[in-house]
Every structure is written in structure tokens, then in C-alpha cells.
Amino acid sequence: MQKINWASHQYDLGHTDIDQQHQQLVEIINELVDQLDQPGDILTKQPPTKVGGFARVAVD
């Protein structure tokens, strides 16, 4: 699977907080892509935990 390359000119909305959250989400997605290439159970690795934490912060 191919990683997402963050390009500010393509993805920035012009709202600093939201842009930073989106950038963090892209980093987490890219970590998941790396994990998919590794042997083992993806659900026991760190990125899914980060996704849950990210969702709680983004909604608050």
C-alpha cells in the first residue's frame, strides 16, 4: 500500500488547528501502512491505539 505524502498546498484548509489534526491523522495512517508490511497481528500494534486517542482529541 502506498503512503500519503502531505502536501500543504493540496490539503491545508487554512484553519491551523484542523490542518494540524489532519496532518497527524495522515502520519497515523502512514504508520498503519508500515505495520501492514510487518508480520504479526496489526490490532496489537501501536497505531490503532493512536487512532483512538486522536479521535477523542479531535471530537473534544
User: pLDDT digits over 2-53, tens only?
Assistant: 899 988 888 899 999 999 988 988 988 888 888 777 777 666 655 556 666 6
The answer to whether 14 and 40 have CB atoms below 8 angstroms apart is no
Backbone angles phi, psi at 37, to 5 degrees: -85, -10
Q: How confident is the model at residue 60 (pLDDT cuts 50, 70, 90)?
A: low
In a domain, 19, yes or no: yes
Q: How many residues does the chain have?
A: 60
**What's the number of domains the chain is made of?**
1
Q: What is the pTM of this model?
A: 0.67
The per-residue pLDDT for 9 is 86
Identify the domain containing residue 54 by its residue range.
13-59
The per-residue pLDDT for 38 is 75
The per-residue pLDDT for 14 is 93
In a domain, 32, yes or no: yes
| 54 has a pLDDT exceeding 70 | no
